[in-house]
Structure formats: structure tokens, C-alpha cells
Amino acid sequence: MGLYGSRGKGSYAYGCYASLVIIIIVFIAIGLYYMFSGRGGEFDVGWVLEKISPYSYACLGIGISIAFSVMGAGWGMFITGASIVGAGVKAPRIKTKNLVSVIFCEAVAIYGIIIAIILTQNIGSTTDEDWVENYNTYVYNGYCLFFAGLLTGLCNLACGICVGIVGSGAALADAQNGELFVRILVIEIFGSAIGLFGVIIAVLLGNNKKISSS
Amino acid sequence: MADAPAYAPFFGCMGAASAIIFSSFGAAYGTAKSGVGISAMAIMKPDLIMKSIIPVVMAGILAIYGLVVAALLIGKIDPAPGYTLFHSFCHFAAGLAVGLCGLASGFAIGIVGDAGVRATAQQPRLFVGMILILIFAEVLGLYGFIVAIILHLKV
């Protein structure tokens, strides 16, 4: 890694912490300004949460679900793929069997797209009368769709990286001894279950939460 | 109503999401780290693989804690007039409790599992010691689960 790599890593960490601290200080300063100028009631976090359109929440959830799921799948694929081809230099027989690890990572992306499509069925156009009548329900549905998408994306991110790391270990062990692959595959199946739990909760949370008039 | 504003379900849903997200991160870390250890020691001692899957199973149980709490919370989150800020913040706290405790427990199980399976391959008498340490690490996640259930029942 050398001098350049370690210095780069250190400055990234300081940059992240510094920007986070600056954002928190700005937020507190704005809040204090409102409070000391007698308009404390106007600094209203709940108003922001409520007035962001439910369509915005729902669509962000849909986007996040597919984006982070695919990110997790890709991350897992490059981790396991690099090990498969690296170990395959001396043991080319492993390449076909270890594609199963790559397919497990692909399944993570498929979970994301399934949830994104399920969540998409819930949004449509609404009329003004429906909006006045069902305001609280639409706001609630927006939150549910957002968090359903968010939790799918992040659970699949974790699952994809986990499956990739275990698949990498499986490829390296398989290159040494051909019988080990199937046993280490059991660990990958446990890892894959994590993404499945995310899908289950997302379906529970996001199913039938409609923001549409039809 | 001042006590049941329209944004109240936000925190309840965030609790349900945190429950499953953070415990998934913990379970994934535990599975991956232990998996690396198992893959490394499997080359030396292939017959110990099935015994060494115990850390992976225990990490999976953390994800199940998160799943159960998230499912319980989702059953109780409702749209605004019936759902007060009291409900929503209790559910938020329940989700954070099980999620972050599962994250911590997953980290512990992963690191102990990795070191433990490698050491057990070299010295089989360490197996029981590794299991004891893993049980203590798993119990951390259970504490979060218990607090989450208490908060959930408080409604």
C-alpha cells in the first residue's frame, strides 16, 4: 500500500468526519437562530417530514431498493470473481462449479428488482378529492413505501457483500481440495437468507400501500 | 390532533426498517468473517467444517431477531389519527434496540468465530471454549430483542 495509500485513507476519514460535524453544527446554528429570534416554533422537523410529498418518498424508496441491491450484488460479484479467476490460474477446474457463487450474488439483485416492481404497482395518479379525504393514509403509505425500499436495498447490500466474501473463500478452498466447495456452499446459503429476510419484511411493509385513486 | 400528527408513522416505520437493516448488517458481518475462517481452516481439516458452521448459524439467528421484531412492529403501525407519537417513538426505539444490538453482536460473533475456528483446527480442545464465547456474544443480540419486545408490548 505504501505511503501514498495510507495518507489517502487517513485524509478521507478526516474529510468524512469533518463534513459530518460541519453539517451538524450548521443545523444546530440554524435552530438556535430561530429560537433566539423568537420564531422557535417555525423550526419544525415534523413539518418537513409531513410536507415532503408521499410520491417523493415512494419513488425514492423504489429507486433505493434497486440501486443498493444491485450495488450489493456487484460488490459481491467482483469479490468472488476476482478470487475465482485468481485461484483458477493453478486449478482451472474450479471455474464452472464456482459460478454458483456468482449466481447467488445475482439472486440478490433479483430480490431488489422484484421489490422495486412490487412497490411500483402502488403509485398512480390521485384526484384532489381523494387527496383531501385520504391525506393521512397517503402520507403513511409514502413512509411505508420509502422504508420498504430502503430496507430492501440495505439488506441486499449486506447480503451481497457477505455472499461475495464467502464465495471468495469457497473458491480458494476449492482450488486446494475439490470436495470442500459443497460444504462451504452451506455458509453461502446462510448468507443468502439475509437478503431473503429483507424481502419478506419489505413485502409485509410495502404491500397494498397505495397512493392512487384507482 | 397535536399528539397524533400526520408524520407520526415515519418514526414507527423507521424503527421497523432499522430492526431488519442493522441486524442484517450484523448477521452478514458474522457470516462473512466466520466464513473466511472456515474456508481457511477447511484446507487443513475438512472434517471439522460441519462443526465450525456454528458461528454462521448464530449470526443467522441475529437476522431472525431483527425479522421477528420488524414483523411485530409492522403489524402495529397505522396511519395518523389512531397512531400517536407515543406509539411511534416506542416502535422506533424497539427497532433501534434490536438492530444496533444485533449489529454489535454480529461483529463479535464474526471475529470470535473467525479466530475460534482457526484455533480449533489446530487444537480441538478449544472447541468448547469457542462455543462459550459465542454464546455470550449471541446473548448481546438477545438483550436487544428482549428490550424491543418490552417496548413493543408497551404500545
Instruction: For residue range A73-106, list pLDDT tens digits in order.
Output: 999 999 999 999 999 999 999 999 999 999 999 9
Contacts B65 to A, Cβ<8 Å = none
The grid coordinates listed for A91 are: 486449478
Residue A145 and residue B12 in contact, taking contact as beta carbons nearer than 8 Å = no
Residue A150 and residue A143 in contact, taking contact as beta carbons nearer than 8 Å = no
Positive/negative CA dihedral, A176, A178, A184, A185? positive
- Whether residues B31 and A205 touch (CB distance < 8 A) is answered with no
Q: Whole-angstrom Cα distance, residue A43 to residue A52?
A: 15
pLDDT computed for residue A159 by the predictor:
97
Per the document, the length of chain B is 155
For residue A139, the chain B residue with the least C-alpha distance is: B6
pLDDT computed for residue A44 by the predictor:
85
Parts of chain A with a pLDDT under 70: 1-11
Candidates A57, A29, A167; CA nearest to A122 is: A57
Average pLDDT, chain B: 95
Interface of B with A in 74-113 (CB under 8 A): 74, 77-81
For residue A168, the chain B residue with the least C-alpha distance is: B36
The grid coordinates listed for B147 are: 428490550
pLDDT computed for residue A81 by the predictor:
96
For residue B9, the chain A residue with the least C-alpha distance is: A140
Instruction: For residue range B103-152, list pLDDT tens digits in order.
Output: 999 999 999 999 999 999 999 999 999 999 999 999 999 999 999 999 99
B125 CA: distance to closest CA in chain A (Å): 23
B53 vs A: CB within 8 A: yes
pLDDT computed for residue B82 by the predictor:
87
ipTM computed for the complex: 0.93
State the first-to-last Cα distance of chain B, in angstroms, to the nearest integer. Answer: 19
B129, HSE (Cβ side, Cα atoms, 13 Å): 9
Q: What is the mean pLDDT of residues B63-68?
A: 96
pLDDT computed for residue A1 by the predictor:
47
